[in-house]
Amino acid sequence: MTGEEFSLPLRVYIEDTDAGGIVYYVNYLKFMERARTEFMRSLGFGKDYIFNHDLMFVVRDVAVHYRGPARLDDEVCATAAIARLGGASIVMHQRVLRSGEVLAQGDVTIACVDRSGVKPRRLPQDMSQTLQSLRG
């Protein structure tokens, strides 16, 4: 992975955990989703931009490796960085960490689609240029 990594601090709440107080595996994906959303928002590509350009992003592929458990009340951070950029897709390398320890990491491919027909479409040029500049 190269380029700039965005980091979002999060707290583990009881709703994120299983009966043993450990984060349920699917909730790592929710943490990653929040990091992707806030990353794009920080670049000026929030919901207003997305709606005004009649597009959506849908997850096409996820590969996550779990390394260790997060527990109730832990402070963690979820990260997002551009790993690869295609004409109509973005692969983000993402991690969830606690005090620098990687708890989960993986790559998430999101596809750009038009809102009305949910058909693939190219990333808007300004978005593509901004994201390309972050690849390092």
Per-residue pLDDT of the chain (136 residues; tens, 9 = 90+): 446 899 999 999 999 999 999 999 999 999 999 999 999 999 999 999 999 999 999 999 999 999 999 999 999 999 999 999 999 999 999 999 999 999 999 999 999 999 999 999 999 999 999 999 987 5
Q: Domain total for the chain?
A: 1
Question: Distance between alpha carbon 76 and the CA centroid of its chain, in Å?
Answer: 15
Q: Return the closest-CA partner of residue 2 out of 96, 92, 116.
A: 92
Q: How far apart (Å, rounded) are the C-alpha atoms in residues 115 and 11?
A: 32
Tell me, yes or no, if 16 is annotated catalytic. Answer: no
Domain that holds residue 102: 5-133
Q: Can you give the pTM of this predicted structure?
A: 0.93
The catalytic residue among 18, 48, 114, 126 is 18
CATH number of the domain encompassing residue 127: 3.10.129.10
